[in-house]
Amino acid sequence: MMEKKNVLKLLFSLSTSAIAGSFLVSCQQINQQKSFIDINKISRRYLNRLSLNQIASLHNYQKIFNYYDSNNKKQYYDEAKIKNNKLILIAPNREYEYKIDFPIRSQWVQSISEFNNVNILDGLKKADVNDFFNSYTFDEVDSANGFNDEWFSVLNEKFKHDFTRVGDPYFADIQTIIFRIFSDIASNYSLMNDRFMVNKDNKKVLYNNIFQPQFIQAESWISKDHIEQRKIFESLLALYLNKFNVDIKSVEIDWDNLKILHSFSGASDYVAFKFKDIKNWDNQSILSNENKEKTFYINGFRTYKTAQKFGVGLEGLKEKLPLFNDYIPNPLLYINGGNILNIVDNINYFVKSATSIDFWNTKGLMYLFQNFKDKFFYIDVPDYKKDEDKEYKIIDFHYTDYLKTNQLLVATVRVIKKDNSFKDYSLISSNFDDHGHRLKGMILKNKKPQDLLVSDIYSYKVPNDPLPSGISLDDFISLNKESAFMILLKVAFEKLQNNFGYWNNDYRANFEASNLNSDSFQIKLLGAYINNYLLAYELENKVNEIRSGVKRIDLEVIKDDQNIGQLKLKLKFMGYKDNNDFNFINKEDPLIKEITVLWNGFKGSDTNLEPFEVIK
């Protein structure tokens, strides 16, 4: 019997030892788990600018730490947290400590000095995020509209403290942190500095698709198309808050109950929101119910219902298609003229001083762009879209009703996906680059170009006078060599005179006129110059009717084999179909007037002839 008991004791002892040994081995495996920073996403160059809490926060939204499972397959840790001032990475049913092998930044503590100054110091003292929830009126927020001196004046007045800004910190205040996030994004500064937020190849991968509010409408940012942008904002709030020792794992905003507010200046919009919750590392709610009722504001969203930069006037947008620059932030429409036009640039090429004849108007650009839209334009597909988007193609241009001055036109951009499906967007000419250019206004007086004053040009202003009646075509088409018509027609022809590339790499005098027809690129380019120079003048317009009078001038080559060295051109002055005609061309467009022009100077031409002759 004793032997049996001893055997049982022995077996129990062996079993217990085996279990303990197994537990020990398991613990050793956990401690020996190899964890890696995914250097294809981010490098230590950025991580060493963060505190320990911020590194954990970054992983929870961007998954930067990984390991390899028993099948040697790369896996990302589910989440990260801080425990006893250590970075803990969590995989299914297991937790691992990651030992930081690079220098990191300290946490911040906010304190009030004996001199009544609010200071930011390094320290590990715990903070309660509920203390960050200070309330502000919209007027207080809008008076500053950002992280700037005006905002700190608001803070000084409200809290009766001076805020010490040496070292450019931000403070333990939600609205201040919101302002700071978007200020940093716009100025490429601090935690949002692209020079540091890079991977091993020095490329930015994290947050590479972030929209600055100044490039997108509030209505678009809060739509279903931009859920990812709102997730990014939540992640950045958590990142910035975790510079203080607040132990935040996640920030949740009530995206179902938002308001859009207009700034008092009319220059931008705000999105007003409330917090749904904030949770700590253990997924426990730490936000009080009182603070869930407080309103905060994201500032600086672009509005087009303004007279200011990028604005289309106080009536706002009327586009049937979504805006392309609400799809791609701040796109640049590249314009490469190739062998047709000496330009490798963008819309800036066409923008000059107000009275310059080479400041292009919408009618000249419309003629140029419509005739060369398949050759001139391209828009880069950004890196973060290259897996889904194949190409962005300009397929059309049309006039607009904006500003009531004919200074904007709109391109239709087709986004072609990898599977060849597509969606069309509108791109307003003021968004062809980030300068917000308006095109040349309409010249009201039949003056020579060199005599024009800015006051002779009908451009947008608030308030604006009604558009007066236009210049009579009969008065404008004068054969007097000193008339605006003859001066500008001469300049248009001269634009093509000395470019050898237009004439088989030779002088025009050695080029056969019979080689040209109405579809030749030389004729289309000449037509663009003629439209730009002549239709800069308000011709045949009715009072206060922008879409009246001459819409375009068509060029038609008339074959005449008897006149050697001479090309006969018919210039057709075409009108609008009606007051709602925004198209470049319609079958119903009326012919207002036509004239014939003889273009001399081709092979076999009499050298004593004038460069061109007008036959009314």
Average pLDDT, the chain: 93
Q: Quick check: 614 and 489 in contact, CB under 8 A?
A: yes
pLDDT band at 425 (very low <50, low <70, confident <90, very high): very high
Ramachandran category for residue 492: left, alpha or beta (phi over 0 → left; psi -120 to 50 → alpha): alpha
Q: Please tell me the predicted confidence (pLDDT) of residue 295.
A: 99
Q: Is the pLDDT of residue 419 over 60?
A: yes
Euclidean distance between the first and the last CA atom of the chain, given in angstroms as a whole number: 133
280 strand-pairing partners:
248
Specify the DSSP class assigned to residue 211.
P
Structure tokens at 97: 């400590």
Give the predicted TM-score (pTM) of the model. 0.90
Q: Please tell me the predicted confidence (pLDDT) of residue 459.
A: 96
Q: Please tell me the predicted confidence (pLDDT) of residue 560.
A: 86
3-state secondary structure 505-558: CCCHHHCCHHHCCCCCHHHHHHHHHHHHHHCCECECCCCCCCCCCEEEEEEEEE
Q: Please tell me the predicted confidence (pLDDT) of residue 106.
A: 98
What is the arithmetic mean of pLDDT over 554-566?
92
CA-based angle 39:45:48, to the nearest 5? 110
> How many angstroms separate the CA atoms of 513 and 567, rounded?
6
- Summarize pLDDT for 65-78 with one digit per residue, the tens: 999 999 999 999 99
Who wins on pLDDT, 27 or 311? 311
Q: Please tell me the predicted confidence (pLDDT) of residue 21.
A: 38
Q: Is the pLDDT of residue 441 over 70?
A: yes
Q: Quick check: 251 and 238 in contact, CB under 8 A?
A: yes
Q: Please tell me the predicted confidence (pLDDT) of residue 27.
A: 33
Q: Is the pLDDT of residue 435 over 70?
A: yes
Burial class of residue 455 (count of CB atoms within 10 Å of its CB; 0-12, 13-18, 19+): exposed
Is the Cα dihedral 421, 425, 431, 434 positive or negative? negative
Specify the DSSP class assigned to residue 589.
P
Q: Quick check: 502 and 522 in contact, CB under 8 A?
A: yes
pLDDT band at 6 (very low <50, low <70, confident <90, very high): very low
What is the arithmetic mean of pLDDT over 45-60?
98
Q: Quick check: 456 and 468 in contact, CB under 8 A?
A: no
- Summarize pLDDT for 484-501 with one digit per residue, the tens: 999 999 999 999 999 999
16 phi and psi, to 5 degrees?
Answer: -60, -40
Which residues, in sequence order, are CB contacts of 248 under 8 Å at separation 6+? 53, 57, 129, 238, 241, 242, 278, 279, 280, 286
443 phi and psi, to 5 degrees?
Answer: -80, 125
> How many angstroms separate the CA atoms of 554 and 518, rounded?
9
Q: Is the pLDDT of residue 10 over 90?
A: no
Q: Please tell me the predicted confidence (pLDDT) of residue 616.
A: 75
Q: Is the pLDDT of residue 554 over 50?
A: yes
Instruction: Give the residue extent of every domain in the chain.
Output: 36-97, 108-302, 324-432, 442-614
Q: Is the pLDDT of residue 34 over 50?
A: yes
Give the DSSP H/E element, type plus range, for residue 94.
strand 94-98
Which residues, in sequence order, are CB contacts of 52 under 8 Å at separation 6+? 82, 85, 87, 100, 104, 107
CA-based angle 121:190:233, to the nearest 5? 100
pLDDT above 70 as % of the chain: 95
- Summarize pLDDT for 203-247 with one digit per residue, the tens: 999 999 999 999 999 999 999 999 999 999 999 999 999 999 999
The four Cα atoms 180, 181, 185, 188 give a dihedral, to 10 degrees, of 60
Angle at which helices 521-534 and 484-494 cross, to 10°? 150
Ramachandran category for residue 161: left, alpha or beta (phi over 0 → left; psi -120 to 50 → alpha): beta
Specify the DSSP class assigned to residue 225.
G
Amino acid (1-letter code) at residue 470: G
> How many angstroms separate the CA atoms of 58 and 205, rounded?
13
For 384-397, letters b (16+ CB in 10 Å) and e give ebeeebbebbbeeb
> How many angstroms separate the CA atoms of 476 and 406, rounded?
20
pLDDT above 90 as % of the chain: 91
pLDDT band at 562 (very low <50, low <70, confident <90, very high): confident
Q: Quick check: 410 and 398 in contact, CB under 8 A?
A: yes
Rg (CA), the chain: 34
> How many angstroms separate the CA atoms of 336 and 344, rounded?
5
Q: Please tell me the predicted confidence (pLDDT) of residue 4.
A: 36
Kindly list the distances between the CA atom of residue 252 and the CA atoms of 230, 283, 571, in Å, as whole numbers in the listed order: 10, 12, 64
Give the DSSP H/E element, type plus range, for residue 37.
strand 36-37
Q: Is the pLDDT of residue 39 over 50?
A: yes
What is the arithmetic mean of pLDDT over 554-567?
92
Q: Quick check: 230 and 255 in contact, CB under 8 A?
A: yes
Provide DSSP, 380-403.
Answer: PPPGGGTTTEEEEEEEEEEE--GG
- Summarize pLDDT for 341-385 with one digit per residue, the tens: 988 788 999 999 999 999 999 999 999 999 999 999 999 999 999
What is the arithmetic mean of pLDDT over 92-102?
94
For 67-101, letters b (16+ CB in 10 Å) and e give beeeeeeeeebebbbbeeeebbbbbeeeebebeee
Look at residues 380, 378, 376 and name the one whose alpha carbon lies nearest to residue 389.
Answer: 380
Provide DSSP, 448-502.
Answer: -GGG--GGGEE---SS-PPPPP-B-HHHHS---TTSHHHHHHHHHHHTTTS-GGG
What is the arithmetic mean of pLDDT over 169-179?
99
pLDDT band at 289 (very low <50, low <70, confident <90, very high): very high
What is the arithmetic mean of pLDDT over 123-148?
98
Tally: H helices and E strands in the chain? 12, 26
